Amino acid sequence: MDFSVLELDEDLTAFVTEVDGFLDEHLTQDVLDEEWETGAGHNRAFHRALGAKGWVFPAWPVEEGGAGLDPLRVHLLDTELRRREAPTITKGTTGLSVAGIRAYANDDLKADVLPRIARGEVCVCLGYTEPDTGSDLAGVRTKAVLDGDTWTISGSKMFTTGAQNCQYSFLLARSEPDASKHSGLTMFLVPLDSPGVEIRPVHTLGGERTNVVYYGDVQVPDHYRLGPRGHGWSVLSEPLRAEHGIGRDDAHGLAEINPSGLTYFHTLERLLERTLHWAVTDVRADGASPIDDPLVRARLGQVALDVEASRNTPPPMGRVLASELLIRDSADIIDLVGPKALIGRGEDGALEDGVIEWAHRFAQGTAIYAGTTEVHRNIIAERVLGLPRYARYPRATPR
């Protein structure tokens, strides 16, 4: 772990200036307002502008549609995108699918899709979860039946975030109903403009837009199969590891220590900044500000420590810690600030643009996505602590 401060030389400073200029031009207040209102996690024009610079996948070589940036510049670009709150959820799901596409799509499909992904013209959502299957992902029931050279896909997928922004779904389906659970699966890149695909919005408590996507006998040419039939679980393993922040290559020591908790501690950091601003600027009847109170300083100090603990705890523990500290601290901040903290953005008397109220709502869902905190506790128990897979309890004796 290297805690040294990053020194920016002239070239790097010029690069950051270039990024900021780009964001000033393309990440307009309208884009930010639209994201706040829709929770879409994406803005088509902004994403295309990133693609035109080669910044959707900035480390990819220029001839593959990237910008050939070195790891330090990629890190600086990511940091600026996050700091300026760019809507990049769909960019993220697209990135997770790419490992599967690169390794398992046929050459024609790769040649067709990857350059368009790099240019920002094509995005991909993750079609894993179903109404009855989330944590136990290998239990998916969406059917894929091959007839000649075409698959018929039927079923429904829950929480397909960003489907409305995407051209393809990276979809897990059951193709071999008689095979064992993990061996009966196949992955596809399903074109979302196929007849029979229906995308319906689901709006979460945290203000995000996700979707339920219905696949009604959707005809998908075998061309869109990723990897051999029945091997879907292997195709999915790398994207799942990436989502959980496991096994990353970090030769340059620049990667985030806690990638799977990044959005959560970034939200906590943003919440802390806003609460500090309130604590310094709010004036009470006696003329004092909240920050003058040592108890307020102690409670905000605890939040600052929690941001750092979340930032510096690796996966899989970091995913659990960052979510649970965000949930706890966002409630504590509402308790600290008082009833006004509950007034939403746009309403009379809203504090700090409604960020305090929003962060508390957003925090609740962080225990769920990308594997719940309970499921991650199982992962910690089994893979980190080496505990046995399932606790076995003696059967109850019938009375």
Question: Residues interacting with ligand FAD, by CB under 6 A?
Answer: 93, 125-126, 128-129, 134-135, 159-161, 204, 208, 210, 365, 368-372, 374-375, 378
Phi, psi of 133 (to 5 degrees): -145, 115
> For ligand FAD, which is the closer residue by CB, 268 or 303?
268
> For ligand FAD, which is the closer residue by CB, 238 or 352?
238
* Residue showing the smallest CB distance to ligand FAD in the complex: 134
> For ligand FAD, which is the closer residue by CB, 69 or 96?
96
> For ligand FAD, which is the closer residue by CB, 209 or 311?
209
Least separation, in Å, of the C-beta of 196 and ligand FAD? 19
- How far apart CA 354 and CA 347 sit, in angstroms, is 9
Least separation, in Å, of the C-beta of 48 and ligand FAD? 21
Which CA distances in Å does 246 have to 36, 221, 238, 256?
31, 33, 9, 12
The structure tokens listed for 230 are 């029945």
Least separation, in Å, of the C-beta of 92 and ligand FAD? 9
Residue 147 burial by Cβ neighbours in a 10 Å radius (0-12, 13-18, 19+): exposed
Q: What is the DSSP letter of 157?
A: E
> For ligand FAD, which is the closer residue by CB, 71 or 191?
191
> For ligand FAD, which is the closer residue by CB, 261 or 371?
371
The percent helix, strand, coil of the chain (3-state, each to 5) is: 50, 15, 35
What element of type H or E holds 397? none
The structure tokens listed for 385 are 């602590």
Least separation, in Å, of the C-beta of 356 and ligand FAD? 20
Which CA distances in Å does 173 have to 23, 44, 189?
39, 28, 11
> For ligand FAD, which is the closer residue by CB, 125 or 279?
125
Least separation, in Å, of the C-beta of 378 and ligand FAD? 5
CB proximity list for 289: less than 8 A, separation 6 or greater: 279, 280, 281, 282, 283
What element of type H or E holds 213? strand 209-221
Least separation, in Å, of the C-beta of 103 and ligand FAD? 19
Least separation, in Å, of the C-beta of 133 and ligand FAD? 6
